[in-house]
């Protein structure tokens, strides 16, 4: 489980804290939604949980390990993170290479990389665009690609910052089903930052309101 | 009087004066005195010491690198450090290295004067200098993009690491490849932002009329005049006094 313990974070000196003494628990095997008003610190929380930002006070534990001593590479082995803006995590020259990037870093063989890449391209309906540059895709396609690239890594936890933003109804449903399967079959802990009540009601087991 | 309250025109004038002096003067002692004056000006003007140090520290490795290059490659003067028959550092090389390092430090410090004001004030100040509004506005708008682009670079860098790329264990060849891979999305994002911004501006009547009115204007106060006078007297005094 991921345990957030009395987190406090302030962006600028002498400013009011964005997050103040926040504590929460995110279990494996279920989807937890994080919701709240605009500007309440949901994205900040996600960045604190993934070590991109460092809290002023408090700590984050992943399966009992404090992340304060870990680098992003080590945290990335435990949590797959999807940014709110997919442009901020797409950097490879083709769609297929974007998915293969993480698989290659995991040390998979060329055959495994190729088959896994094809599987995710099919799953996220990106096979027709496998040679396209990621930045030339539509917003929805970029969102799907970012999801595919992170899901392919198979981290025990997934943190998705507003993943349904650019998705149509069908893709949203497919994503929900895929996340549910990940949580139930692979005991993955999924955390979804979302405003969409419908998505939360349908797919999330618990809700953290900020 | 703190620098934040100073007229933007005065700050620009100070920046130009200090930077020009730094580029013209060759004597290390005069440059050191100008650097000292700039630092006193900043600290007495209420600029946070930590901010001055943070900005300077970020450039120290570059300044150090330039210092070493100047020391080694400028061969003027007498030998200072020799290894066998080979002269590693000469007196002229060392002097040039000190001059270049001091110049850079002065330019960085003087740039901090500008950071104490708001962009819109500099826009008015540059307009007062009869520069075309479009060019001034676009230059200052581009400067506002820098923190956004930095954020984007940090995000991409973080995403790479979180997707299993261990930067610490990567060799220099791989690191350069990684930085090059980051360039394209950042450049594309900058162009996209610029395109969006130009559309947004035109929809809000930018350049619609030949003459543009100003909502606010800069006021040159007595304090500004006194501050400018003291600054220039000190600057000229340093140049003349140390020359003698």
Q: B80-98: per-residue pLDDT in tens?
A: 888 887 888 888 889 999 9
* CB contact (8 A) between residue A105 and residue B163: yes
Would you give the end-to-end CA distance of chain A in angstroms?
19
Residue A114 — very low, low, confident or very high, per pLDDT cuts 50/70/90? Answer: very high
In this structure, what is the dihedral angle of CA atoms A169, A170, A171, A172, given to the nearest 10 degrees?
A: 50
Residue B171 — very low, low, confident or very high, per pLDDT cuts 50/70/90? Answer: confident
The Cα–Cα gap between A18 and B37 comes to: 39
Instruction: Find which of B162, B168, B190 to mutate to test the A interface (most A CBs within 10 Å of its CB).
Output: B162
Residue B244 — very low, low, confident or very high, per pLDDT cuts 50/70/90? Answer: low
Q: Are residues B231 and B209 in the same domain?
A: no
Q: Are residues B178 and B227 in the same domain?
A: no
Q: Are residues B59 and B40 in the same domain?
A: yes
Task: Evaluate if residue B168 carries a pLDDT over 80.
Answer: no
DSSP-assigned letter for residue A37:
S
- The predicted structure's pLDDT at residue B148: 85
Q: What is the mean pLDDT of residues B119-134?
A: 85
Q: What is the mean pLDDT of residues B152-171?
A: 85
Q: Are residues B187 and B222 in the same domain?
A: no
Size of interface A-B (CB pairs under 8 A): 69
Q: Are residues B71 and B109 in the same domain?
A: yes
3-state secondary structure B199-227: HHHHHCCCCCCCCCCCCCCCCCCHHHHHH
**Could you tell me if the ipTM is greater than 0.85?**
no
Domain ranges across chain A? 29-37+71-209
Instruction: Find which of A14, A43, A75, A89 to mutate to test the B interface (most B CBs within 10 Å of its CB).
Output: A89
Q: Nearest chain A residue to B166 by CA: give it.
A: A73
Q: Smallest Cβ distance to B164: which of A87, A89, A153? A: A153
Q: Are residues B85 and B43 in the same domain?
A: yes
Query: Which residues make Cβ contacts (< 8 Å) with residue A7, sequence separation at least 6?
Result: A19, A21, A22, A23, A45, A48, A55, A57, A58, A59, A60
- The predicted structure's pLDDT at residue A7: 92
CB within 8 Å of chain A, chain B residues 73-132: none
What fold does the segment set A29-37+71-209 form as a domain?
Answer: Rossmann fold (3.40.50)
Q: Are residues B141 and B190 in the same domain?
A: yes
- The predicted structure's pLDDT at residue B1: 60
Report the number of distinct structural domains present in chain B. 2
Q: Nearest chain A residue to B190 by CA: give it.
A: A87
Q: Are residues B18 and B83 in the same domain?
A: yes
- The predicted structure's pLDDT at residue A63: 92
In percent, the amount of chain B with pLDDT more than 90 equals 9
In percent, the amount of chain A with pLDDT more than 70 equals 100
- The predicted structure's pLDDT at residue A132: 93
CB within 8 Å of chain A, chain B residues 134-173: 152, 154-156, 158-168
* CB contact (8 A) between residue A102 and residue B164: yes
* CB contact (8 A) between residue A135 and residue B181: no
Q: What is the mean pLDDT of residues A75-80?
A: 90
Q: Are residues B221 and B112 in the same domain?
A: yes
Q: What is the mean pLDDT of residues A13-17?
A: 81
Q: Are residues B31 and B92 in the same domain?
A: yes
Where helices occur in chain A by DSSP H, the ranges are 42-49, 72-78, 95-105, 110-123, 139-151, 169-185, 197-203
What is the extent of the structural domain holding B100? Answer: 1-117+216-244
Task: Evaluate if residue B48 carries a pLDDT over 90.
Answer: no
Mean pLDDT over each residue of chain A, to the nearest integer: 89
Between B211 and A80, name the one with better pLDDT: A80
In DSSP terms, B86 is beta-bridged to B83
Inter-residue contact B132 to B139 (CB < 8 Å):
no
The phi-psi region of residue B201 (left if phi > 0; otherwise alpha if psi is between -120 and 50; otherwise beta) is alpha
């Amino acid at each position: 489980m991921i345990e957030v313990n009395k987190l406090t974070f302030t962006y600028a000196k002498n400013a009011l804290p964005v997050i103040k003494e926040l504590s929460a628990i995110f279990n494996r095997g279920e989807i937890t939604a994080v919701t709240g008003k605009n500007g309440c610190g949901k994205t900040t929380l996600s960045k604190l949980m993934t070590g991109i930002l460092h809290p002023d006070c408090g700590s984050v534990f992943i399966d009992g390990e404090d992340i304060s001593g870990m680098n992003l590479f080590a945290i990335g082995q435990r949590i797959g993170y999807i940014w709110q803006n997919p442009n901020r995590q797409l950097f490879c020259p083709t769609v297929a290479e974007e998915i293969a990037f993480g698989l290659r870093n995991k040390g998979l063989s060329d055959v495994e990389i190729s088959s896994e890449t094809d599987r995710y391209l099919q799953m996220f309906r990106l096979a027709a665009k496998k040679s396209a540059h990621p930045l030339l895709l539509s917003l929805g396609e970029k969102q799907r690609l970012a999801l595919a690239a992170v899901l392919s890594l198979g981290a025990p936890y997934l943190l998705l910052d507003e993943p349904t933003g650019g998705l149509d109804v069908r893709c949203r449903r497919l994503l929900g089903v895929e996340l549910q399967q990940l949580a139930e079959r692979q005991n993955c802990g999924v955390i979804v930052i979302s405003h969409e009540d419908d998505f939360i009601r349908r797919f999330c087991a618990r809700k953290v309101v900020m | 009087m703190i620098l934040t309250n100073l007229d933007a025109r005065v700050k620009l004038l100070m920046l130009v004066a200090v930077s020009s002096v730094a580029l013209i003067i060759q004597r290390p002692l005069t440059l050191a005195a100008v650097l000292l004056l700039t630092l006193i000006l900043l600290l007495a003007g209420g600029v946070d010491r930590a901010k001055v140090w943070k900005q300077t520290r970020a450039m120290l490795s570059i300044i150090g690198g330039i210092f070493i290059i100047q020391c080694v490659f400028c061969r003027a003067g007498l030998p200072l450090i020799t290894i066998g028959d080979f002269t590693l550092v000469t007196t002229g090389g060392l002097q040039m290295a000190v001059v270049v390092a001091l110049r850079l430090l002065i330019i960085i410090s003087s740039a901090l004067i500008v950071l104490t004001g708001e962009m819109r004030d500099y826009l008015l100040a540059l307009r007062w200098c009869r520069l075309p509004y479009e060019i001034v506005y676009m230059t200052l708008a581009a400067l506002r993009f820098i923190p956004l682009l930095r954020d984007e670079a940090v995000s991409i860098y973080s995403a790479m690491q979180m997707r299993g790329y261990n930067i610490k264990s990567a060799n220099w060849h791989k690191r350069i490849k990684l930085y090059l891979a980051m360039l394209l999305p950042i450049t594309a994002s900058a162009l996209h932002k610029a395109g969006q911004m130009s559309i947004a501006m035109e929809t809000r009547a930018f350049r619609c009329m030949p003459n543009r009115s100003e909502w606010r204007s800069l006021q040159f106060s007595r304090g500004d005049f006194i501050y400018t006078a003291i600054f220039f007297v000190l600057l000229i005094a340093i140049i003349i006094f140390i020359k003698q």
